[in-house]
């Protein structure tokens, strides 16, 4: 099935691209998503190219990568020259943490309950005299005022997730970006739990750096990630890691010419994961074909339906459903239930979700159906 680059594909047509639906009610996109036929075909075609012709068609691969960069920039709301392809979310955050010129007494503000990918790189700066301040979560929410109050004159970085991995709380990225602008603080966004599910414009929101792997809401393969570095922030990172492709005209190997590229591709140190980028490229194309407004509406419809059913079951829902705070993640508990056992039983019944830290976490994507949500609720009621 051809996938348009403009919003012309209905969610029903897109659903047919996901063979996972033939066996599973797959409601676990906050963990690892299944890929579509389109992504599988793109990656297989690329491997077939290498199998048949080696690197004879390398110039075509380069064009594919640059097309993926443009589409990634469209999804993020930035310029193509501000996008790099990395291995995963952690690599992007670590690149920022390692690249900044830290001073003893600096601090980083983040949140208690962040995924470790957005904590450990900042903890590692302790050897530079950097303090990590964690804002406490309150009933599944991280209030803006608490983040604001944690920032002081020594704060260099605000590091938060677009969507928190356990609670599903969605931060007001634009409001936080404005706060960072007023306070002179760099804003680093772990975007993996929202990008591909919710609209995001990093340029308008004042984000300085963002990172997101493809294997969750982007519906792409593991091991390929989008990294955003605002153009004016390139030199702030210095050169924490460099490789032969970090320079302009990198294919001119000699004489040496150590001048870094003037764009985010300087962080693509060597040979790129072209098969992974081929999959990521097709995944992003699919999302753009359906359209982020459509995707967001579908996810809201499905999670609203889920939460209404959970309320009837007497479940304790952790995830905020307030306007601007809801996301594709709904975490809940059932009174008196062995939640690990529930998750195992549901898997046996063909329903995929996650058990996380004492909660069941459900995360449907746009191609999921209302019938799949109802199937989950009926299984919970019957258990």
pLDDT tens digit sequence for 212-222? 999 999 999 99
CA–CA separation, 232 vs 160, rounded Å? 21
Which residues have CB under 8 Å from 137's CB, separation 6+? 111, 112, 113, 164, 167, 169
Mean pLDDT of 274-289: 98
Give the model confidence (pLDDT) of 98-121 as tens digits: 999 999 999 999 999 999 999 999
Return the number of other C-beta atoms located less than 10 Å from residue 41's C-beta. Answer: 16
Helix, strand, coil abundance in the chain, percent, nearest 5: 45, 15, 40
Look at residues 325, 374, 15 and name the one whose alpha carbon lies nearest to residue 143: 325
* Angstrom distances, CA of residue 181 to CA of 151, 178, 191, 377: 12, 5, 19, 44
Q: What sign does the dihedral 322-324-325-327 (CA atoms) show? A: positive
CA–CA separation, 273 vs 47, rounded Å? 12
H or E element, residue 277: helix 274-290
Least confident piece of the model among 6-15, 69-78, 183-192, 296-305 = 6-15
- pTM here is 0.96
User: Do the Cβ atoms of 308 and 373 come closer than 8 Å?
Assistant: no
pLDDT interval class at 382 (50, 70, 90): confident
**Fold of the domain built from segment(s) 47-288:** 3.40.640
Domains 11-36+291-382 and 47-288 share a fold: no
Task: Write down the pLDDT at residue 238.
Answer: 83
Task: Write down the pLDDT at residue 7.
Answer: 55
Task: Write down the pLDDT at residue 4.
Answer: 42
Mean pLDDT of 325-333: 98
Give the model confidence (pLDDT) of 8-66 as tens digits: 899 999 999 999 999 999 999 999 999 999 999 999 999 999 999 999 999 999 999 99
Mean pLDDT of 288-317: 98
Q: Report domain extents, the chain.
A: 11-36+291-382, 47-288
The pairing of strands 354-356 and 225-229 is: unpaired
- When the pLDDT of each residue in the chain is averaged and rounded to a whole number, the result is 96
CA–CA separation, 365 vs 213, rounded Å? 16
pLDDT interval class at 2 (50, 70, 90): very low
CATH number of 11-36+291-382: 3.90.1150.10
CA–CA separation, 110 vs 135, rounded Å? 6
For the record, the structure tokens of 241 come out as: 């890691």
């Amino acid at each position: 099935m051809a996938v348009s680059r403009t919003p012309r594909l209905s969610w029903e047509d897109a659903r047919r691209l996901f063979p996972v639906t033939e066996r599973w009610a797959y409601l676990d996109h906050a963990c690892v998503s299944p890929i579509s036929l389109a992504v599988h075909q793109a990656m297989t075609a690329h491997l077939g190219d290498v199998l048949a012709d080696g690197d004879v068609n390398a110039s075509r691969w380069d064009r594919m990568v640059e097309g993926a960069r443009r589409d990634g920039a469209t999804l993020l709301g930035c310029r193509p020259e501000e996008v790099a392809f990395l291995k995963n979310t952690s690599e992007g955050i670590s690149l920022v943490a390692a690249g900044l010129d830290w001073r003893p007494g600096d601090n980083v503000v983040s949140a208690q309950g962040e995924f470790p990918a957005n904590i450990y790189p900042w903890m590692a700066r302790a050897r530079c005299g950097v303090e990590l301040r964690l804002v406490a979560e309150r009933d599944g929410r991280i209030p803006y005022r608490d983040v604001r109050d944690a920032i002081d004159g020594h704060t260099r970085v605000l590091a938060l997730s677009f969507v928190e991995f356990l609670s599903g709380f969605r931060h007001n990225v634009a409001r936080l970006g404005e706060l960072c602008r007023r306070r002179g603080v760099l804003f680093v966004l772990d975007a993996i739990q929202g990008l591909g599910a919710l609209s995001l414009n990093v340029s308008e929101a004042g984000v300085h750096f963002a990172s997101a792997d493809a294997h969750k809401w982007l519906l792409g393969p593991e091991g390929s990630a989008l990294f955003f570095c605002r153009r004016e922030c390139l030199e702030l990172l210095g050169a924490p890691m460099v490789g032969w492709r970090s320079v302009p005209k990198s294919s001119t190997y000699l004489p040496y010419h150590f001048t870094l590229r003037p764009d985010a591709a300087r962080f693509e140190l060597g040979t790129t994961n072209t098969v992974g980028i081929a999959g990521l490229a097709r995944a992003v194309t699919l999302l753009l074909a359906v359209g982020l407004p459509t995707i967001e509406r579908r996810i809201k419809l499905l999670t609203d339906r889920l939460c209404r059913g959970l309320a009837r079951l007497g479940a304790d829902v952790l995830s905020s459903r307030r306007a601007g705070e809801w996301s594709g993640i709904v975490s809940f508990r059932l009174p008196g239930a062995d939640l690990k056992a529930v998750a195992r039983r549901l898997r046996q019944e063909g329903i995929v979700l996650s058990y996380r830290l004492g909660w069941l976490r459900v995360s449907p994507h746009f191609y999921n159906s209302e019938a799949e949500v109802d199937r989950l609720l009926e299984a919970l009621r019957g258990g």
